[in-house]
Structure 1
Amino acid sequence: MDLDDILALAETTPSPLELARARRVARTVQSQHDLSLAEGYQIIVDTDLADPLTWDADEATRVTRAAQLAKQGTVTWLFGDGRPERFERLSWSDEMAMIVGHAPGTLRLTPRALFELVHPADVERVLAASRTAWEQSRPDEIGFRVVQPGGSIRHVYCHLEILTDAGRPVGVIATGEDITALELARQEQRRLAVRSRMLGADPAVRDVLTGLQTRGYVIDEVDRARRTTGGALIVVATEPATRLPDAPLTDEDRDQLTAEIARTLRTVVGDDVTSGLVGSGSWGLLLASRDDAESAETLAARIVDKFRNHLFSVRHKPLRLNTSAGVVHFGNDIPDTGFDLLVDGEHAARDAHRNATAVKVLEQPVAERERTERCRRRIRRAVAANRFALYAQPIIDLGLNQVARHEILLRVRSDTGEPVAPWAFLDMAERVGEILSVDKWVIDHALELIGRGAQTSHYQVNISGKSLADPGLLAFVTEAIHRHHVKPECLTFEITETALIENRNEAVAFATGIREVGCHLALDDFGTGYGALAQLKYLPVDLVKIDGAFIVDLCRSPADQAVVSALVELCHTLGIRVAAEYVQDQETLDLLRAAEVDFAQGYQIGRPEPITVGQEEVQSIELELRLPPQQTAMG
């Protein structure tokens, strides 16, 4: 519609229908007016037919009217003689009063009352913006918070304009609106963006060394299958058929061999089957009932045949594997857990090896009592036969930039006598309640080694959190300290697997007692166990080790960097020193030093080596019995 159309419309005579509608509206308005008067309402003002937005209205009135039309509020501040320190009049519109939570006319507005409505943290910004707008005689805008009478916080956005009279500035008018909903939406968008950037891959899903699923993930998937579809679990056990002629396998050699076995396994089963390293030299594969392309027994036989005939390589020398497999069939909705089925598969694979067969098949899970007793006998035989070895790994003091401690890692000797990583063995010992006997073996032999040394500095001996429930543990440790002539001030006892602490009172009693003896206390795998922060409150902790899950990908993960930084700040505030495990490169070491972490440990510092007593350069030995994270093969 152009101007000609508008003029033509103005010249049009209303139709009888339009006139009738107009008369009907007029009668309705008149009747409502008369009714209001009859009911006692006082009509205080008639409709203002003059448009305040026309040129002859004053500037403040025009701005206020425009704000009303936009459902915004205004605050008008007029200064006497044009000087801010001498205010002449301060007023606000009804809309602005309601924005800040006051009914119109209920608050006597003064400069002090006005700024008391602004959130204390925003007062200086509002004053600075107002001052700048006035001094430079130019409009400005600012967002801030206001505090309503009930304590509620609202977000307000204001446009600041300078009022003038004959070209001379005489005051400021602020046009504001409640943008709380908009600000909350913006905050949520920013939060989601940060969360998306920080959210990383679950380290419990994929093993870094093998590229396959971790032990925990495989167990969880078996748990899910036994509740839904049922299926079959294959456990393949491998170990070197012969020793290398020059020297036994090192941890680095085993990592290389493990990675090659994983690649070979993938060529047989592909990437669609849930599979992963479930123990030292043990591999688990889950076939749900819908996976009927080939039977579990046939697949297990193929894997065994492939591994036995494949020529692996370590240190550029050929190596063959002794391989056997166990298969456990299970239905859905059975009481046995994923861990129970894994143990059954491991035992079946061991039986197959002992009987010189390729595969042993269990048509159903083993009875719970039989399974538990077999696990306990296996652990007790290992303890009685001393089928363990202790390895030392150096720890660097980042403040001194030198090796100041050593951690002693437990190794379990395989059937061939080779020391292997203990995490699956320890997991079993924790679950069947036999970890205390292993702990006592480590404590006794570790303190014996310490007592035979110079004891020139500090030593750390770790104890499983589950063992703290034993009321006789403190007496056993104290007696071992005296029997092996170890200085208690040279010892720190590190609690591992803190999530398994069964009796809080016994844990506190042990921690308090060991401190009274003269030793210190530390927590391992900090940041992943349930209740870890609470333990800092009630346990007299001197040192925490940040779990390796936050360290292995530190250089590439903003989330890990944020967690490490926050944990270091928290611990230092509480007077606790911090150590980081699984440091694998110089870049990670530099980041930890910048974050003010106290100690660092990992392949970048040094690999575990067999212990020799009497190393004068060793200032501290840390003896640790723990479950390392399964995303690496670092012990």
Structure 2
Amino acid sequence: MYQVLYCLTDEHDWRLAALGGALCLLASTAAISLFHRARATQGSGRLVWLALDAVVAGCGIWATHFIAMLAYGPGASGAYNVPVTLLSLIFAIAITFVGLGVAVSTMRPGLVALGGAIVGGGVAAMHYTGMMALEIPARVSWATGTVAASILLGVVFGAFALHVAERRDNLSGTLGAAVLLTVAIVSHHFTAMGAVQLTPDPTLPISGLSIPPTSLSVLTASAAAAIIVIALVAALLDRRAKGELGRQQRVLDTALENMSQGLCMFDADGKIILFNERYAAMLGRTDILLTGRLLVDVLREEQAKGQWQGDAGEFFARLVADARESRTTTDIVTRFGRSIRVVNQPMQGGGWVATFEDITEWLEAQARISHMARHDALTGLPNRILFHEQLEHGLRRTNSGDQLAVLCLDLDHFKDINDSLGHPIGDALLKEVGRRLEATVGESDTVARLGGDEFAVVLIGRSEETAARFLAGRLVEAISAPYEIDHHQIVIGVSIGISLSPQDGSHPDELLKNADLALYRAKADGRGTYRFFETGMDARAQARRLLEMDLRAALQRNEFEVHYQPIRDVATNRVVAFEALLRWSHPQRGLIAPINFIPLAEETGLIIQLGEFVLRSACADAATWPDDIDVAVNLSPVQFKSPNLIASVTAALEEAGLEARRLELEITESVLLQNGEATLTTLHELRAMGVGISLDDFGTGYSSLSYLRSFPFDKIKIDRSFVSELATRADSMAIIRAVTGLGRSLGIVTTAEGVENDAQLELLRREGCTQAQGYLFSKPRPACDVALMLEGPRLRALA
């Protein structure tokens, strides 16, 4: 040890020694930086960085040695053999390359340290080869123990240097490793120089291939400059690369932490490499150490806390096997009441990336969409699509001997309620009807809303005809019970049509069609009841469809004509008006009465065109009559809702040149039901034009008196049902007496319809009825017979 200290203090120029140390530190810092860069690179790029690192480190070791040798006093009078000097440089670069390659290619700390030891061995190889290049007039001998110590120092500090570099890739780690590598080189050199023993021998020659120390100083300075340049370039590249990596790392971290999905990356062994906070929060693992741990250990820890169910080992083994087989898997798991979709995507080189997406709201939205597609938005009942599917399912599962019944329901006069009270009340009524239907049918039965006020029920069992009859009766009773909606008491009925499988059909569409036909029959039979499908109903439906087709064609072929029935003044026995009545002259069926086609025209909307035809024809015909004869035209409730009604009346009067006072429009109480305020406004507009307004079929409604108070009608027409029973029923007589008395007190003309005999006429005259109309005077006749009806015999005077 004394010899080493003596050599360092007395045999070296400390200024050149310090320069060598500084150069060594600079080269070591560059070498460690390049070592980190090589470890961060894969493939051919790593080989390039390794080669550059070996050149920088080898040149640094070589330059340090020869600068220190220049500082060595005894060496100043010698020379250096060029080939051996170059060989020492080659040894320094080659052995350093091997050591760095071992350290870079492994993650195991022991092998990294082995690589550092090889680098330390390269320092020794370069030093002693370089010493062999020294040619001086003296014999060189070595202290064996000191030589061994120098080699050991280089190997140990070299191993420590790369061990520290592998553990800490930051500024402090780089500086620490650079200092250790510098210590390895410097301590080896000066310890080895302390082992040199020189015995002067002037007889030893200096070869011709030697280079003097002055020239070597230039060469060393050039090598040092090259090292510095390389080190600076490498440092710059490394800094730029680290800056780019840092920027990319920040971008990656930002992207990971702002993902709506959770992400976790695993290596081939199932160890967690990285994850984002969304993953930890989504799976409730924020309080668990994750980085670097095997997933199976995390699952077992959760299993111990009761947060994970299942076999952790089996689950983990399946994930690892899927990744090794490059299989992408998708699972849906439930965590803390949330549904999470997990996609495991294999990575190249082993391992996999798992993404975790919370799809709870998406699944709920899909469920809502699916429910909306198959359920009615208003009542929540199955709609036509789901009803059809369940009906098909019911038909498939009916066994031999089983029956299936389909009930089609339609609310009676729902449209009138919807029009008079408004759609919100109508919607509330439909909801309540849906609730009553669900409460009335059995748990295994299906209830659906097909649209509007149409509902349907499916029953399955062994005696469905009996069950359907019983259920239909209960439904009629339940639906007909009064409703209290928004301070309105509403009473509504229901008509039901029933078809049975297999006798009425074995296909959903066929059963629905036949139940619809039975429903139509229930409506035709007075509503508020139910009917089963019968074979003849299809024929009647076909006849109705043919009639509808004929009705549409009849408008184009001008098959309609207007007949007139006289209205006489009871007191003077004089014709004061004619009522216009529509007739259909069918080319094959002959004359068709209004009762057979007017309801169909109202259902199909054709009544508007027919009504306008009657109005124009009646005004045109009345214009040819005497000035004191009026014409009465009936208005359908459908026609009255037309926004063009006022314009149609005005146009008909203007085209015919008829005074408005001679036109009388007859409406029924159902017109007043549909929209009270708007209807009264229209009536007042017609009245302001001079048109007379009559209330037809008076006494058959339930609020006629309130109508008389709301609007001052010009005439009340007493329904024929009261007139026909005048002589047989005292209550009919009382009603007529009350109506005529009401008319006198209000100044309203009263007209009795359906007068067929002299006895009825005499009773009406006695009660003060103003006008009479009926077969006693004349049947409805074509317009060409109006003159005959005006010139006909007067009423017989009664004794």
Tell me the TM-score range normalised by the shorter chain.
0.3 to 0.5
Q: Which has the higher contact order (CA 8 A, sep 6+)?
A: 1
- TM-score, with structure 2 as normaliser: 0.32
Bigger Rg, which one: 2
- TM-score, with structure 1 as normaliser: 0.40
